[in-house]
Structure 1
Amino acid sequence: MLKNYFKIAWRNLLKNKGYSAINIGGLALGMAVTLIIGLWVNDELSYNDYFKKNERIAQVVQSQTFNGETGTNNAVPRPLEMAFRDKHNDKFKHIVMSSWNNSVYLNYGEKSLSKDGNFMQAEAPELLDLNILKGEKDGLRKINSIMLSESVANALFGNEDPIGKVVKGNSQYDMDVTAVYEDIPKNNSFSDLEYIMPWEKYLSLFEWVNNAEDQWGNNSFQMFVQIADNTGMTDISTSIKDVKKNLNEEAAEFNPQLFLLPMKDWYLRSNFENGKQDGGRIKYVWLFSIIGAFVLLLACINFMNLSTARSEKRAKEVGIRKSIGSQRNQLIYQFLSESFLVVLFAFGIAVLIVLLSLDGFNNLAKKEMVFPWGNGMFWITSFIFVLLTSLLAGSYPALYLSSFKPVDVLKGTMTTGKHAGLPRKILVVLQFTVSVAFIIGTVIVMQQINFAKNRPIGYEKEGLVQIPTMSQDFSGKYDLMRSEFTASGAVLEMSASSAPTTQIWSNRSGFSWEGKPEGFQEDLAWTDVTAEYAKSLNLKILEGRDFSREFATDSNAVLINETAVKYMGLTDPIGKYIKDDDIEDPFPPLKIIGVVQDMITQSPYEPVKQGIYAYDKNENASFYNLRLNPEKSASENISIIESVFKSHFPDIPFQYDFVDSEYGEKFSAEERIGSLSSIFTALAILISCLGLFGLTSFVAEQRQKEIGVRKVLGASIFNVWNMLSRDFLKLVIISCFIAIPISYFVMNGWLQDYPYHVILEWWIFLLAVVGALAITILTVSFQAIKAANRNPIKSLRME
């Protein structure tokens, strides 16, 4: 019996090749989108799955309140470690202090590489349960030890055994390689952990780190923990909540609240609003899951519509089968088997589409996904997916077709009634509601990105290059390098700064100034810069003057930005003084000599933060900022700069970044979402148009005799086109009226996540409506005009 069902299904597919192609093609597209979104969602949800103990690993984070506004971050003070070990040690299996990610120059023989990694306490490899390929897991016990990732070890040593070899760090200190660990995959929080060096080495290298042992206000470190087996994250968060506030009176001013952020939330749920967890990338997981479900639904709607539209051609078949004894459930099984066969073919084509597009999708989404050929669970899930899609796509046609009465069908008296086409109309409205909503959403996403991109950034990012200067080799050589670079003809001006142009690396408080309100809790972005900073960035001085080497007093001078003027309540800032309350006299206060234009250093979707630019007395900043000569090509300038650099630092790899590229990275997440949304929207529209094309074709075929009569009686091509198109245009207009309020509500909520965002305007929705109508007209017109041009004699010759 089952074999017979599939044989009949196969014959029906071959008999109606055009409709079969539309059905299978539409379903294949829908299923391909769903499959690729499923792979993406699985990759997002499996973030940090590499770490076997991820359910029990957490990072200590804190919320602090400044002037009534609560912010949350993962930076903690160093004294917190001993407080935890003394009072809460029983709650943790491992406690690990860590630096932030550092770039270090690693030298071995003639090889020199710049690699990223952390200084971490000795328990780190055990906490992360790293897969040690060579050496010992407790390889951080000695102060001069280093653990390398497999790829770094191979790059430095090739086929040599790295264990016991000596690597020089930053041309300054020797480190013994004690272990090589497996590279951590990209979809993990520590994927850029290319080396690990001991925490004790960090203390010995940087005096400020060593001095921070009892500084509760210095939130410059990270703390990772693995909780004990008999404890829970929530219980521990409750018990440690007020540790910092209770142990330090000065820190208590900002009402610090400590808690644990589980590793499973680091990536997907890392956003906080007023001290409360408020989602994160999980919203994109939900968004694309919904998009995938709707795209598949659109494809299933096509199947339902085309199957029920052709019901009259199957009516006699149903009548004959029923008259010779077929039960309704047998007919339902037959139509469901046809549905299963179509979906199975579509799934095969969908897999092929995914295989062909996966590399491109990975490039677009910044992923490294592979098709899970050997994953048994994937194939089980795929079979269930095909089965459910078959039921979803075929259930309504099966129930509808099997309900025909054989007597009425065989006598030719079966009438469909004026509401027989209502379900199909509802499905078409649903299709285009989804498509129009997708169009509106995509336009708003792209408009938001362009809105932020067109925001004035306060400096000239084009032609600006930054070079990291993390090694001690750069110490004291700023003036020499500035002279060499500008004399080369490739650089117009150069400066140095303690942070990259596109980021804030330091936030400070504890300042006083004339007119400061009582109880005001300041939070200021701090950057140390050399005298040429504003000139190299083409940063505009709005009031006062720039730093100058001609004024010795500028060593205690600062520039502040526009936002800082308002934030500090200064009406006439030039000449005012700022006193650092943490520095004892006789150090003089800092004099404000100029106000610079606001420059975007954080997210372009956020307000500019109040900032201070202090004169760098020691010229030991972390970055060189070079303004390239616009009369030469960028490649020529970089070539000259590299030769000058190598002449002074032959053992240090030449690294540089174009600031405009670094700034562009700030839009990468939204641009990826916008690009993916655009692709999925285009596919949703294509699937909807395929269904509309098939329905129009069927209606034209069904009414060919009516069209013939009308043409004989003098109807024009426009009259026929209008007759066939009118009903579909009405349905699309109804779809627009439903889609507009839904998309307005959803996208307005999405925009509220961005303090600096576009305002929703009426033309966006009008554009979507016009676009939907234009697409409908183009889709319908092909078949309508084709039917209108058909010779009426051929349509009427059987009468």
Structure 2
Amino acid sequence: MFKNYLKIAWRNLKKNKGYSAINIGGLALGMAVTLIIGLWIQDELTHNSYFKNKDRIAQVFQSQTFNGQIGTGPAIPRPLETAFRDGYADNFEHLVMSSWTTSQYLKYKEISLSRTGNFMQAEAPEMLDLTILKGEKDGLREINSIMLSESAAEALFGKEDPIGKIIEVNSQYDMMVTSVYEDIPANNSFHDTQFVMPWEKYITTQEWVKNAIEFWGNNSFQMFVQIADNTSMEQVTANIRDVKKNADEDNAEFNPQLFLFPMTEWYLRGNFENGKQVGGRIKYVWLFGIIGAFVLLLACINFMNLSTARSEKRSKEVGIRKSIGSQRNQLIYQFLSESFLVVLFAFLLSIALVLLSLNGFNELARKEIEFPWANSSFWIVSIVFIAFTALLAGSYPALYLSSFRPVDVLKGTFKAGRYAGLPRKILVVLQFTVSVAFIIGTVIVMQQINHAKNRPIGYDKEGLVQIPTFSQDFEGKYDLMRNEFLATGAVVEMSSSSSPTTRIWSNRNGFDWEGKPEGFQEDLAWTEVSWEYAKSLDLKIVQGRDFSREFASDSNAVLLNQTAVKYMGITDPIGKFLKDNDEDDPDPPLRIIGVVEDMIAQSPYEPVKQGVYVFDKNGNSSFYNLRLNPKQSANQSIATIERVFRTHFPNIPFHYDFVDDEYGEKFAAEERIGSLSAIFTALAILISCLGLFGLTSFVAEQRTKEIGVRKVLGASVFNVWNMLSKDFLKLVSISSFIAIPISYYVMNGWLQEYPYRVILEWWIFALAVIGALAITILTVSFIAIRAANANPVNSLRTE
């Protein structure tokens, strides 16, 4: 019997090829979008699933209060390790101090390359449960050992066995490869950790790290822990909360509060505001989950609308079948089997669409998602979904049509009823409400991105190149390299700095100045720079003057940005002094010689932070900043710079970054969200239009004779077009007025997360409404004009 149902269903699909194509195509498109979004969400939710102990691993965070505002972050002081090991060892199974993930130069024979990694304590491989491919898991037990990721080992050694080989790091010291571990997958923390070196090596090679052992005010380190089996994150947090506050009397005024931030929340819930956790990327998971659900809903609405509309034409079929003995349940099974067949075909087509688009989606979303062929849960969910969708879409025609009295249908006295089309109208309104809301949301997201992009950044990022200078080979060579680069003509100015142009690497407090309010707790972004820093970045001096080689006293000079002047409450800052209130500091006070225009060094969506630029007299630069000659091509200039670089640093790989690319990365997450939202919005509109196209075709077909009579009586093409279009335009207008307040509420709430944000204006909503009406007119007009131009003689012969 079931085989017979499917055979009849197949024949009905073939008989109505146009409607079948719209039904299957629209549903397949909606399913494909939902599948891709579902795979993306799964990838997001399974971040850090690589680590077996993820539920018990955490990072130590601290919150500190500055002038009533609480700042939260992972930077902690080095003495905290001793305090934890001495007083709280029972709380932890593993405790690991770590540097930040930074680039190092690795060299083996003639191969030299730059890779990112960490200095970590010996427990790290066990805590992270690294998969060791070669060598030993406790590969950090010796001070001169190094563990390499599989890709880093292959890049350095090729097919050679790396174990026991000696590599040179930063032209500074030799390290022996003790282990090769499997690359940590992309959707995990520590993915960029391509090597691990012993923490003890970090201490012995960096004097400032060694000196930080008793300095509670130096928050320059990270600590990762795995809690003991007999405790919980909450219990350990309660135990350690006031450790730093009690141990560091000098900084107790900042009320430092320690807590454990679980690995399971690092990626999705990593944002803090005034000491409170306020989410993070989880908002994107919810956003795309909602988009996926609504896109699928639109596709299902199309399916239901067209199924119910077409089913009413089959009333005579129902009447005949019932008159020859068909039971109601048989008719129900028949309609449900047809619905199931459509959904099954749509699902198979959706899989093909996903496979075709997955590579492009991965490139756009910066993911490495694969189709889950071997995932049984995926197929179980898919089967349930197919059955549910088929039941949902087929239930109305099945129950409604199977209830007809055959005598009424066959006599021709059956009428669908005055409100038979009401459910379809409601569904169309819902469909276009979602589509209009998507249009408004996408426009606002793009506006916010462009608003931040067009924000004055305070310096000229075009033609500005950064070269990292992490090796000791660079020490004492700044003036030499500047002269060499300038002599080539490829560079018009050069400077050095302790932080990259697009980041703030250091924050300091503990300063006094004239007029400082009593009890004021300052937090200043600190950058050490060379003489020509402002010139190379094209920073505008708004008060005073720049650093100058003509003034020897400028070695104790400082520049403030405009925000710092306001923040510190200094009137007429030129000539004032900034004094370190540490009595043991031998350096004289810093004299303020100038004020520079604010430059964006952090998020372009946030206010500029108060910053000071101090002359670098100790050679602590981490970057060369080169202003390329605008009269030469960038490629030509880079080639010249590389030639000079390799002459002086033959053992160091030439690595550089364009600052405009680095700055552009600040928009990457929002731009990806905006691009994906635009694509999904376009697909949602397409799905809605497919449904509208199908319904318009059905209405035109139903009213074929009426159109013929009207034309014979003198109706114009416009009259016929108006007759077929006005109802749909009314429905879309209603949708627009429903979508506007919903969109305003949601997007206004989203914009509140950005201190520097666009203002919602009326034209955005008007544009969305006009766009929706225009799309409706174009979709309906094709069918309406074709029906209006049909020969009325043929129309009147239609039965």
* Structure 1 and Structure 2 fold alike (TM over 0.5): yes
Deviation of 1:583 (Å): 5.2
Tell me how far apart the structure 2 counterparts of residues 555 and 403 of structure 1 sit (CA, whole Å).
Answer: 93
Residue pair 1:303, 1:394 contacting (<8 A) in 2 also: no
Tell me the secondary structure at the aligned position of residue 466 of structure 1.
strand
User: Is 1:252 the equivalent of 2:252?
Assistant: yes
CA deviations on 1:509-565 (whole Å, 9 max, x unpaired) are 101101000110000000000000000000000000000011010000000000000
Q: Which position in structure 1 is the counterpart of 2:496?
A: 496
Q: Which position in structure 2 is the counterpart of 1:12?
A: 12
CA deviations on 1:288-329 (whole Å, 9 max, x unpaired) are 011111101101101111111123321112222333333333
Tell me the secondary structure at the aligned position of residue 223 of structure 1.
strand
Pick closer, same or farther for the CA change 1:135–1:419 going to 2, 3 Å.
same
Task: Tell me the amino acid that sits aligned with residue 646 of structure 1.
Answer: R
Residue pair 1:494, 1:624 contacting (<8 A) in 2 also: yes
Q: Which position in structure 1 is the counterpart of 2:428?
A: 428
Q: How many residues align?
A: 799
Residue segments in structure 2 that go unaligned for 5+ positions in a row: none
Tell me how far apart the structure 2 counterparts of residues 397 and 576 of structure 1 sit (CA, whole Å).
Answer: 83
Residue pair 1:476, 1:620 contacting (<8 A) in 2 also: no
Deviation of 1:63 (Å): 1.0
Q: Which position in structure 1 is the counterpart of 2:633?
A: 633
Tell me how far apart the structure 2 counterparts of residues 92 and 386 of structure 1 sit (CA, whole Å).
Answer: 48
Tell me how far apart the structure 2 counterparts of residues 442 and 575 of structure 1 sit (CA, whole Å).
Answer: 50
Q: Which position in structure 1 is the counterpart of 2:582?
A: 582
* 1:743-754 aligned within 5 A: 743-754=743-754
Q: Which position in structure 1 is the counterpart of 2:311?
A: 311
Task: Tell me the amino acid that sits aligned with residue 245 of structure 1.
Answer: K
Tell me how far apart the structure 2 counterparts of residues 789 and 94 of structure 1 sit (CA, whole Å).
Answer: 80
CA deviations on 1:49-90 (whole Å, 9 max, x unpaired) are 011111111111111111111111111111111111112111
Q: Which position in structure 2 is the counterpart of 1:67?
A: 67
Q: Which position in structure 2 is the counterpart of 1:543?
A: 543
Tell me how far apart the structure 1 counterparts of residues 686 and 586 of structure 2 sit (CA, whole Å).
Answer: 74
Deviation of 1:391 (Å): 2.3
Tell me how far apart the structure 2 counterparts of residues 218 and 405 of structure 1 sit (CA, whole Å).
Answer: 86
* 1:583-732 aligned within 5 A: 584=584, 586-732=586-732
Tell me how far apart the structure 2 counterparts of residues 77 and 517 of structure 1 sit (CA, whole Å).
Answer: 27
Q: Which position in structure 1 is the counterpart of 2:142?
A: 142
- How many percent identity over aligned positions? 78
Task: Tell me the amino acid that sits aligned with residue 754 of structure 2.
Answer: Y
Task: Tell me the amino acid that sits aligned with residue 462 of structure 1.
Answer: E
* 1:104-253 aligned within 5 A: 104-253=104-253
Tell me how far apart the structure 1 counterparts of residues 330 and 56 of structure 2 sit (CA, whole Å).
Answer: 54
Tell me how far apart the structure 1 counterparts of residues 637 and 81 of structure 2 sit (CA, whole Å).
Answer: 48
Tell me how far apart the structure 2 counterparts of residues 327 and 276 of structure 1 sit (CA, whole Å).
Answer: 63
Tell me how far apart the structure 2 counterparts of residues 223 and 790 of structure 1 sit (CA, whole Å).
Answer: 77
Tell me how far apart the structure 1 counterparts of residues 325 and 73 of structure 2 sit (CA, whole Å).
Answer: 73
Deviation of 1:401 (Å): 2.6
Tell me the secondary structure at the aligned position of residue 776 of structure 1.
helix
Tell me the secondary structure at the aligned position of residue 310 of structure 1.
helix
Task: Tell me the amino acid that sits aligned with residue 145 of structure 2.
Answer: S
User: Is 1:413 the equivalent of 2:413?
Assistant: yes
Q: Which position in structure 2 is the counterpart of 1:531?
A: 531
Residue pair 2:117, 2:192 contacting (<8 A) in 1 also: yes
Residue pair 1:308, 1:401 contacting (<8 A) in 2 also: no
Deviation of 1:688 (Å): 0.2
Task: Tell me the amino acid that sits aligned with residue 425 of structure 2.
Answer: K
Tell me the secondary structure at the aligned position of residue 613 of structure 1.
strand
Tell me the secondary structure at the aligned position of residue 626 of structure 2.
strand
Task: Tell me the amino acid that sits aligned with residue 524 of structure 1.
Answer: L
Task: Tell me the amino acid that sits aligned with residue 383 of structure 1.
Answer: I
Task: Tell me the amino acid that sits aligned with residue 797 of structure 1.
Answer: R
Tell me how far apart the structure 2 counterparts of residues 106 and 729 of structure 1 sit (CA, whole Å).
Answer: 66
Tell me how far apart the structure 2 counterparts of residues 694 and 438 of structure 1 sit (CA, whole Å).
Answer: 22
Deviation of 1:408 (Å): 1.8
Tell me how far apart the structure 1 counterparts of residues 12 and 564 of structure 2 sit (CA, whole Å).
Answer: 74
Task: Tell me the amino acid that sits aligned with residue 382 of structure 1.
Answer: S
Residue pair 2:546, 2:593 contacting (<8 A) in 1 also: yes
Tell me how far apart the structure 2 counterparts of residues 797 and 190 of structure 1 sit (CA, whole Å).
Answer: 74
Deviation of 1:586 (Å): 4.8
Residue segments in structure 1 that go unaligned for 5+ positions in a row: none
Tell me the secondary structure at the aligned position of residue 249 of structure 2.
coil
Residue pair 2:512, 2:580 contacting (<8 A) in 1 also: yes
* 1:465-544 aligned within 5 A: 465-544=465-544
Name the Cα RMSD after superposition.
Answer: 1.0
Q: Which position in structure 2 is the counterpart of 1:757?
A: 757
Tell me how far apart the structure 2 counterparts of residues 122 and 519 of structure 1 sit (CA, whole Å).
Answer: 42
Tell me the secondary structure at the aligned position of residue 286 of structure 1.
helix
Taking structure 2 as the reference length, the TM-score comes to 0.99
Deviation of 1:585 (Å): 5.7
Tell me how far apart the structure 2 counterparts of residues 147 and 759 of structure 1 sit (CA, whole Å).
Answer: 51
Residue pair 2:528, 2:620 contacting (<8 A) in 1 also: no
Tell me how far apart the structure 1 counterparts of residues 786 and 550 of structure 2 sit (CA, whole Å).
Answer: 83
Tell me how far apart the structure 1 counterparts of residues 521 and 327 of structure 2 sit (CA, whole Å).
Answer: 80
Task: Tell me the amino acid that sits aligned with residue 698 of structure 1.
Answer: F
Greater CA deviation, 18-27 or 62-71?
Answer: 62-71
Tell me how far apart the structure 2 counterparts of residues 15 and 199 of structure 1 sit (CA, whole Å).
Answer: 74
Deviation of 1:404 (Å): 2.4
Residue pair 1:524, 1:612 contacting (<8 A) in 2 also: yes
Deviation of 1:272 (Å): 1.0
Tell me how far apart the structure 1 counterparts of residues 159 and 772 of structure 2 sit (CA, whole Å).
Answer: 61
Task: Tell me the amino acid that sits aligned with residue 162 of structure 2.
Answer: P
Tell me how far apart the structure 2 counterparts of residues 582 and 752 of structure 1 sit (CA, whole Å).
Answer: 40
Deviation of 1:798 (Å): 5.4
Greater CA deviation, 545-554 or 251-260?
Answer: 251-260
Task: Tell me the amino acid that sits aligned with residue 211 of structure 1.
Answer: N
Tell me how far apart the structure 2 counterparts of residues 340 and 61 of structure 1 sit (CA, whole Å).
Answer: 53
Q: Which position in structure 2 is the counterpart of 1:345?
A: 345
User: Is 1:461 the equivalent of 2:461?
Assistant: yes
Residue pair 2:312, 2:416 contacting (<8 A) in 1 also: no
Tell me how far apart the structure 1 counterparts of residues 686 and 60 of structure 2 sit (CA, whole Å).
Answer: 48
Tell me how far apart the structure 1 counterparts of residues 798 and 292 of structure 2 sit (CA, whole Å).
Answer: 47
Residue pair 2:492, 2:628 contacting (<8 A) in 1 also: yes
Pick closer, same or farther for the CA change 1:586–1:371 going to 2, 3 Å.
closer
Tell me the secondary structure at the aligned position of residue 250 of structure 1.
helix
Tell me the secondary structure at the aligned position of residue 382 of structure 2.
helix
Tell me how far apart the structure 1 counterparts of residues 797 and 102 of structure 2 sit (CA, whole Å).
Answer: 84
* 1:288-303 aligned within 5 A: 288-303=288-303
Deviation of 1:370 (Å): 1.1
Q: Which position in structure 2 is the counterpart of 1:47?
A: 47
Deviation of 1:655 (Å): 0.3
Tell me the secondary structure at the aligned position of residue 526 of structure 1.
strand
Task: Tell me the amino acid that sits aligned with residue 573 of structure 2.
Answer: P
Residue pair 1:39, 1:369 contacting (<8 A) in 2 also: yes
Pick closer, same or farther for the CA change 1:23–1:798 going to 2, 3 Å.
closer
Tell me how far apart the structure 1 counterparts of residues 644 and 768 of structure 2 sit (CA, whole Å).
Answer: 55
Tell me the secondary structure at the aligned position of residue 467 of structure 1.
strand
Tell me the secondary structure at the aligned position of residue 584 of structure 2.
coil
Residue pair 2:432, 2:735 contacting (<8 A) in 1 also: yes
User: Is 1:781 the equivalent of 2:776?
Assistant: no
Tell me how far apart the structure 2 counterparts of residues 666 and 642 of structure 1 sit (CA, whole Å).
Answer: 27
Tell me the secondary structure at the aligned position of residue 261 of structure 1.
strand
User: Is 1:555 the equivalent of 2:555?
Assistant: yes
Task: Tell me the amino acid that sits aligned with residue 279 of structure 2.
Answer: G
User: Is 1:328 the equivalent of 2:328?
Assistant: yes
CA deviations on 1:593-630 (whole Å, 9 max, x unpaired) are 00000000000000000000000112330000000000
Residue pair 1:308, 1:400 contacting (<8 A) in 2 also: no
Pick closer, same or farther for the CA change 1:487–1:357 going to 2, 3 Å.
same
